[in-house]
Amino acid sequence: MLLYNRYFAIQYLKSILLIFFIALALIFLIDISEISRRLADVGDISLINIIILSIYKLPSTFEEISPVVILFGTLLFLNRLSRHSELIISNASGLSFWQVITPPAVISVLFGLFMILVVDPLGIQYKDNFSILERDIKGQNKLINLENKKEFWSAQKNSSGELIVNADQVYLNQLTLIDATFLQFDNNKNIKEKYDSAYAKFEANQWLLYNVWVDKEGKSREYFETYKVDTESSELLMFENAIKNSNQSIWTIFGVIKKLNLNGISPTKQIVDLNFLIAMPALMLALVLTAACFCIKLFRVQHSIFMIILGVIVGLLLFFVNHISYILSENEIFNPILGAWWHIITAILIASKVLISKEDG
């Protein structure tokens, strides 16, 4: 690596790490406050448990704001070079601005790859750990509704007739239903039995219910610690909606798409997620080039603060357009590939044109 490449790479990493730790600290403090408020009714919860729960939330939350970290880190990096007249010195020594911006561009792409290969899978796993620890803390089998999830409904069959299942929450990785109600019908469509359980797990063509109250026709209500209910439905069909709406990492998403396609189920969300995951490194690159447009000649601009604010606004606009495009793609208004790439390619082309014009000047 050339000396100037190494120097610019180190300076850029310093800027990124500074913004990274500031963002991480703010997210951590906000999560501690939010979780403390949500668990205020739990009398014996310790500060250690709140801190662990906050740590479990960090990866997924940081992944969502990682483009903003790149944007602010790039603006800080270029502003430092400008204030110390290093852009002028670089230009005078024969270096083009493209040679200055190449190390940040490469690092931003590698950062995007790190997010989709490491942070995203870690965030998904930590969400599961969060749910398990929270259930232990509350002593109940309920989840904190940090996300707005739909109720679980499923129509199944067994040897007795039709079985209707309803639950407030579904914990997909362990095939567990929270606050589940089972209605057993006979062959004449009459309700035969009703089961109200704290939670229920699916195991080999049967539901294993825990802490369940059983109402049978002609009998008084009975309590059982565990109770088994047979079902003829497959795992995939029962959890179709949950699987279709689940979050998958880059390591598992191809298998889920294949599984859904083989069973004739539309994998729209997974295809959208896959395209936006693949596009993340390019989004990071687009933000670097966008920020550079407002800082390449910063030392010649009288109102430098205004230019930085303008760079922040345009960068955040690209970030929000990416989010809106994801929502439109998920609702099948945009084609997944078009939704993931149109704004990124547009931003890269416009930023490149602006930078080339200023460089040729």
Position 299 scores a pLDDT of 47
Single-letter code of the amino acid located at 217: E
6: tokens are 């190494």
Q: Are strands 152-158 and 206-216 parallel, antiparallel or unpaired?
A: unpaired
Per-residue pLDDT averaged across 112-141, rounded?
Answer: 80
What's the pLDDT tens digit per position in 186-230?
888 888 889 999 888 888 778 899 989 998 877 888 889 899 988
Position 287 scores a pLDDT of 93
Position 310 scores a pLDDT of 83
What's the pLDDT tens digit per position in 9-55?
899 999 999 999 999 999 899 888 888 887 777 666 778 888 888 88
What's the pLDDT tens digit per position in 312-339?
888 889 989 999 999 999 888 889 999 9
- Specify the DSSP class assigned to residue 116: I
Residue in the structure block whose two tokens are 């995951």: 277
Element (H, E) at 254: helix 253-262
Position 142 pLDDT exceeds 50: no
What's the pLDDT tens digit per position in 240-296?
656 666 778 888 888 888 877 776 677 888 899 999 999 999 999 999 999 888 877
The number of beta carbons lying within 10 Å of the beta carbon of residue 59 is: 19
Question: Closest Cα partner for 127 from 214, 203, 31?
Answer: 31
List Cα–Cα distances, 224 to 82, 124, 136, 215, in angstroms.
72, 34, 21, 11
275: tokens are 């395209």
Q: List phi, psi (to 5°) of 332.
A: 65, 25
Lowest mean pLDDT among 67-76, 196-205, 303-312: 303-312
Instruction: Return contacts of 128-137, CB within 8 angstroms, 24+ apart.
Output: 128/171, 128/173, 129/56, 130/53, 130/56, 130/57, 131/171, 133/49, 133/52, 133/53, 133/56, 134/53, 137/39, 137/42, 137/45, 137/49, 137/53
Single-letter code of the amino acid located at 86: E
Q: How many CA atoms lie within 13 A of 126 on its CB side?
A: 18
The per-residue b/e assignment along 239-266, b for 16 or more CB within 10 angstroms, e otherwise, is: bbebbeebbbbbeebeebbeebeeeeee
Q: Are 235 and 202 in contact (CB under 8 A)?
A: yes
Domain boundaries, the chain: 3-140+266-360, 152-234
